[in-house]
Amino acid sequence: MKAIISNAPGGPATLVMTEVPEPVPGPGEVRIRVAAVGVNYPDVLIIEDKYQVKPPRPFSPGAEFAGTVEALGDGVTELALGDRVLAMTGSGGMAEKAIAQAGRCVKIPDAMPLDEAAAFLMTYGTSQHALVDRGRLKAGDTLLVLGAAGGVGLAAVEIGAAKGARVIAAVSSEDKLALAKSRGAADGFVYPPGPFDRDGQKALADAFKVACGKSGADVIYDPVGGDYAEPALRSIGWRGRYLVIGFPAGIPRVPLNLALLKGCEIVGVFWGGFVEREPEGHADSLADLFRLYEAGKIRPEISERYPLEKAGDAIAALAARKAKGKIVVTVSS
């Protein structure tokens, strides 16, 4: 079978398409015929050995994927041959067939296409955990979302709107703003590209404040980091919650006196840790997300599809921060 393989640390150009033996599921595992793979920022980091988890090489990237169960390991009773599932494995998905622990697979609704399933769990799971569990978002709150047209950002826009929040979308282009508004953002603005000097940061902070209004943001969702973080934090309201999601623009240095003056919380969001440490909470969160999906309130925006042999190009496109919604690698029908 064919798989995209990382043989040495490096960027997307180092990935190669290789013939590998068909994997055999061990106890508690299943083999999945992969239909589609969601591309996420951890895929950019993991092939460069910059992610928290470093799988032994050679390995295939692809943390989340969807397909059909075609073989069962010993002891698997919760899944059956032919089940349509999405899986979260951390890596291994960019292949024609992949192994997953049965406990890391979720049956998907009959009406959910496999490519949407592959683009669903990491972005919506992260945003649901961030906004509901960590941000305590409630109806009527003002929610500022940075990177609001990216995978997790757009998911945050949709979930925030579904929960009754007033969503402000901050994006890098007018077409991205239009997309965020089409998914529930009440308002928003286009910020300039960084990096910023002090005057640039002050101007950006003023823009955030104007967009959020006099009372500031109750919750800020930041999957961008870098020079955008401090200006965003300056727009937070009293006792607001600033959600730390990721750092594609760099790890910021934030003056902690802002947290003191605003009486606010700076809250780390590590969805993978939540899944591992609080499985019952994760199950409840996922059930809520499927309800929102079936009600038509959330749906992955797949902006680009790449065939398996172009998976490196898909990861490179995400790394360039030009993607809207999700990028998906298609493997089989």
Q: How far from each other are the two terminal CA atoms of the chain, in whole angstroms?
A: 16
Q: Contact at 8 Å (CB) between 4 and 94?
A: yes
- Identify the pLDDT of residue 191: 95
Take residue 210 and report the two structure tokens written for it: 């104007």
Helical axes 151-162 vs 121-128, angle rounded to 10°? 50
Q: pLDDT at position 320, please? A: 86
What is the structure's pLDDT at 333? 56
Q: Both tokens of residue 132?
A: 């509901």
Query: Tokens standing for 71?
Result: 């073989």
- Per-residue three-class SS string for the chain: CEEEEECCCCCHHHCEEEECCCCCCCCCEEEEEEEEEEECHHHHHHCCCCCCCCCCCCECCCCEEEEEEEEECCCCCCCCCCCEEEEECCCCCCECEEEEEHHHEEECCCCCCHHHHHCCHHHHHHHHHHHHHHCCCCCCCEEEEECCCCHHHHHHHHHHHHCCCEEEEEECCHHHHHHHHHCCCCEEEECCCCCCCHHHHHHHHHHHHHHHCCCCEEEEEECCCHHHHHHHHCCEEEEEEEEECCCCCCCCCCCCHHHHHHCCEEEECCHHHHHHHCHHHHHHHHHHHHHHHHCCCCCCCEEEEEEHHHHHHHHHHHHCCCCCCEEEEECCC
Q: Give the pairing type, strands 217-222 and 142-146.
A: parallel
If one counts every other C-beta atom within 10 angstroms of the C-beta of residue 219, the result is 28
pTM over 0.85: yes
Question: What are the tokens at 18?
Answer: 């290789």
The answer to whether the bond into 195 is cis (omega within 30° of 0) is: yes
Q: What is the mean pLDDT of each successive set of 10 residues along the chain, which is 333 residues long? A: 97 96 97 97 93 92 97 97 96 97 94 96 96 98 97 96 98 96 97 93 96 97 97 98 94 95 97 92 95 96 96 94 88 76
What is the reported pLDDT for 174? 96
**What domains are there in the chain, each with its CATH number?**
2-120+301-330 (3.90.180.10), 122-272 (3.40.50.720)
> Please, are residues 302 and 322 in contact by the beta-carbon 8 Å criterion?
no
The answer to whether the CB of 326 falls within 8 A of the CB of 18 is no
